[in-house]
């Protein structure tokens, strides 16, 4: 893969006059990397001494099974981050599926809580309760200073509202494109079978495509080995499909009142449609047990032809088809590669992101001085710079990537089947989990910047096309202020999702499904509805 970047020296130019000082990374089982040797002095550009360089402790999401920043050059990369950002790092990696438990445990020990804490999803539950008890720094007092924090200060006020508890901005988002969700499909399969989606496609158009991809032998091998739609135990695609029927994103306004979508008629119409897809064999019968980490494999290996989630995943599947080591010929013209169409909204609707997915909080107890708070925020701000975006996402020039004659990045560690390449990628693996991607994920990745090519042009066009139809959650900022939602909302939402899956798979009847939802309302959701609407 090639990406256009601004040519930069990632070793000498990144020091910015700061004195080098080593740091450390750790896991629950021990410490790796170089050990911190104590505080040093940060030097201003005029040569005068400023303040002692702070050591920042940071709990970080581990999505790479413990191989984060473990390569031969990992210490060098960490060193360059520290020197550029003016702080020493102590990174504590928490497995994604243990993150919530570890963070909840950390909240019970304020004096030893990591100074920066990573969280998944949106602000709910323990975070709201902890914020009300003063656990986190009120960032309103700091980040809007555009001279100190040129990137963080560009945080969208709408997204900031969704991270605000009792008037205090208690977190920084991991920014995401709002119009990022939609439907992508294999173009050559659709062209061969004559089921390409028209403009303003309806759910029935999608059904017909899925049926053809399942039963009309789209790969032409004469074997019944395809299933229309990719699906795993992650049920986010169902939330997208629901919007096609006009029931909104999470919550919807009905008769002047905000209500959860699962209380509306449109929701049941949508769920019955999804059940029809399941009953007719248009998605994997065992989706509920398929691991999410193999999600896009079905499209890559030719089992599936439709992928419903973020549109950039559709782009990556397309890139997989064209990559030299995984080249996949088109079923229409074997001399050309297979392609994906990033279609986006269906029936004039798709799901909007919250503007972020995951966030960082700053501890008010372990960041107990302005100097420490500003060191942490300077670190987070400088990580948004083009230099740091390149280093944390692509590694070292000449080792992990190189420039071709046209100024495009050529990845030297992109071959996942090559052990040497995998080891090279481990130099910087996981460090993208340190990024807020502010002021926006488009501008942040574009700040590298990524080359304009057919893949990224298609992605950007799909984002822009989806944006006007992306359904926002109108209750998101109010849910943060609901005491009951902070206590039981996440658990009740999981119960709703589980009951939906049981109904789709035929484990419970429609009457049992509705009865379960009524029970969920009586367990606290009616109170949540009252608390949300009382804030309007």
pLDDT, tens digit (0-9, with 9 covering 90-100), for 9-63: 233 233 333 333 334 555 553 333 333 333 444 444 333 445 689 999 999 999 8
Q: What is the mean pLDDT of residues 374-400?
A: 94
The residue with greater pLDDT, 16 or 281, is 281
pLDDT in tens, 424-443: 889 999 999 999 999 876 55
Q: Would you say 78 and 89 are in contact if contact means Cβ atoms under 8 Å apart?
A: yes
Give the pLDDT confidence score for residue 115 in this predicted structure. Answer: 98
Give the pLDDT confidence score for residue 39 in this predicted structure. Answer: 44
Confidence band for 417, pLDDT divided at 50, 70 and 90:
low
Confidence band for 404, pLDDT divided at 50, 70 and 90:
confident
Confidence band for 248, pLDDT divided at 50, 70 and 90:
very high
Nearest 10 degrees: CA dihedral of 500, 506, 507, 513?
A: 40
Give the pLDDT confidence score for residue 93 in this predicted structure. Answer: 96
Q: What is the mean pLDDT of residues 231-260?
A: 96
Q: What is the mean pLDDT of residues 82-95?
A: 96
Residue 252 pLDDT exceeds 70? yes
Give the pLDDT confidence score for residue 504 in this predicted structure. Answer: 98
The residue with greater pLDDT, 118 or 5, is 118
Give the pLDDT confidence score for residue 325 in this predicted structure. Answer: 85
CA 456 to chain centre: 18
CATH number (2.60.40.10, 3.40.190.10, 1.20.1180.10, 3.30.360.10) of 181-351+453-471 reads 3.40.190.10
Residue 88 pLDDT exceeds 80? yes
Lowest mean pLDDT among 227-241, 361-375, 389-403, 520-534: 389-403
Percentage of the chain modeled with pLDDT above 90: 72
DSSP letter for each residue of 8-38? --SSSGGGTTPPP---EEEETTEEESPPP--
The residue with greater pLDDT, 20 or 284, is 284
Task: Assign domain 2-177+355-446 to a CATH class.
Answer: alpha beta
Confidence band for 363, pLDDT divided at 50, 70 and 90:
very high
Q: Would you say 509 and 144 are in contact if contact means Cβ atoms under 8 Å apart?
A: no
Highest mean pLDDT among 201-205, 452-456, 477-481: 201-205
Lowest mean pLDDT among 20-34, 306-320, 457-471, 488-502: 20-34
The whole-angstrom separation of Cα 106 and Cα 380 is 21
Q: Would you say 160 and 339 are in contact if contact means Cβ atoms under 8 Å apart?
A: no
Confidence band for 236, pLDDT divided at 50, 70 and 90:
very high
Cα angle 444, 78, 429 (rounded to 5 degrees) comes to 65
Q: What is the mean pLDDT of residues 407-429?
A: 80
Give the pLDDT confidence score for residue 26 in this predicted structure. Answer: 53
Tokens 């893949």 -> residue: 455
Q: Would you say 516 and 495 are in contact if contact means Cβ atoms under 8 Å apart?
A: yes
Give the pLDDT confidence score for residue 35 in this predicted structure. Answer: 36
Q: What does pLDDT average to over the chain?
A: 87
CA 329 to chain centre: 30
Give the pLDDT confidence score for residue 65 in this predicted structure. Answer: 84
H or E element in which residue 526 lies: helix 526-534
Give the pLDDT confidence score for residue 11 in this predicted structure. Answer: 32
Q: Would you say 177 and 463 are in contact if contact means Cβ atoms under 8 Å apart?
A: yes
Residue 244 pLDDT exceeds 60? yes
First to last CA, the chain: 48
Give the pLDDT confidence score for residue 29 in this predicted structure. Answer: 37
Q: What is the reported pTM?
A: 0.75
Lowest mean pLDDT among 11-20, 113-122, 212-221, 253-262: 11-20
Give the pLDDT confidence score for residue 402 in this predicted structure. Answer: 83
The residue with greater pLDDT, 479 or 24, is 479
Q: Would you say 329 and 337 are in contact if contact means Cβ atoms under 8 Å apart?
A: yes
Q: Would you say 327 and 159 are in contact if contact means Cβ atoms under 8 Å apart?
A: no
Q: What is the mean pLDDT of residues 517-524?
A: 98
User: Would you kindly state where each structural domain of the chain is located, as residue ranges?
Assistant: 2-177+355-446, 181-351+453-471, 476-534
For residue 222, which phi and psi values (nearest 5 degrees)? 75, 10
């Amino acid at each position: 893969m090639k990406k256009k970047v601004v040519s930069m020296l990632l070793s000498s130019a990144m020091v910015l006059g700061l004195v080098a000082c080593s740091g450390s990374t750790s896991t629950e089982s021990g410490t790796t990397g170089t050990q911190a040797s104590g505080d040093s002095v940060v030097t201003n550009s005029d040569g005068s001494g400023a303040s002692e360089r702070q050591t920042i402790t940071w709990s970080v999401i581990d999505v790479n099974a413990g191989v984060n920043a473990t390569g031969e050059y990992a210490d060098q990369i960490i060193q360059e981050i520290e020197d550029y950002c003016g702080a020493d790092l102590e990174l504590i990696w928490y497995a994604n599926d243990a993150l919530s438990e570890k963070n909840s445990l950390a909240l019970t020990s304020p004096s030893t809580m990591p100074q920066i804490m990573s969280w998944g999803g949106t602000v709910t539950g323990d975070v709201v309760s902890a914020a009300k008890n003063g656990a986190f720094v009120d960032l309103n007092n700091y980040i809007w200073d555009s001279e100190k924090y040129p990137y963080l200060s560009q945080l969208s006020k709408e997204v900031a509202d969704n991270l605000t508890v009792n008037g205090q901005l208690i977190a920084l988002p991991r920014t995401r494109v709002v119009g990022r969700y939609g439907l992508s499909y294999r173009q050559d399969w659709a062209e061969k079978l004559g089921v390409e989606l028209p403009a303003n496609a309806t759910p029935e158009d999608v059904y017909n495509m899925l049926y053809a991809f399942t039963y009309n032998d789209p790969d032409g091998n004469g074997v019944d080995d395809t299933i229309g739609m990719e699906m795993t135990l992650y049920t986010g695609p169902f939330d997208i499909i629901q919007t096609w029927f006009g029931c909104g994103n999470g919550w919807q306004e009905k008769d002047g009142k905000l209500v959860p979508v699962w209380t509306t008629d449109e929701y049941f119409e949508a769920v019955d449609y999804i059940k029809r897809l399941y009953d007719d064999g248009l998605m994997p019968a065992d989706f509920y047990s398929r691991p999410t980490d193999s999600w896009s494999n079905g499209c890559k290996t030719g089992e599936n032809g439709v992928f419903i989630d973020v549109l950039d995943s559709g782009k990556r599947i397309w890139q997989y088809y064209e990559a030299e080591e995984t080249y996949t010929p088109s079923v229409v013209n074997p001399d050309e590669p297979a392609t994906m169409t990033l279609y986006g909204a269906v029936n004039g609707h798709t799901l909007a992101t919250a503007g972020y997915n995951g966030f960082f909080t700053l501890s008010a107890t372990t960041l107990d001085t302005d100097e420490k708070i500003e060191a942490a925020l300077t670190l987070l701000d400088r990580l948004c710079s083009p230099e740091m975006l390149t280093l944390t996402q692509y590694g070292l020039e000449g080792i992990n990537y190189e420039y071709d004659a046209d100024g495009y990045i050529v990845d030297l560690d992109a071959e996942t089947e090559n052990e040497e390449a995998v080891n090279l990628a481990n130099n910087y693996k996981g460090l993208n989990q340190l990024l807020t991607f502010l002021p926006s994920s488009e501008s942040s990745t574009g700040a590298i910047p990524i080359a304009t090519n057919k893949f990224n042009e298609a992605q950007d066009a799909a984002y822009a096309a989806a944006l006007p139809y992306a359904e926002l959650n109108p209750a998101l900022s109010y849910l943060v202020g609901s005491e009951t939602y902070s206590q039981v909302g996440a658990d009740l939402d999981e119960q709703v999702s589980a009951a939906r899956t049981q109904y789709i798979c035929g484990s419970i009847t429609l009457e049992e499904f509705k009865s379960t939802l009524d029970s969920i309302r009586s367990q606290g959701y009616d109170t949540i509805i009252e608390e949300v609407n009382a804030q309007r």
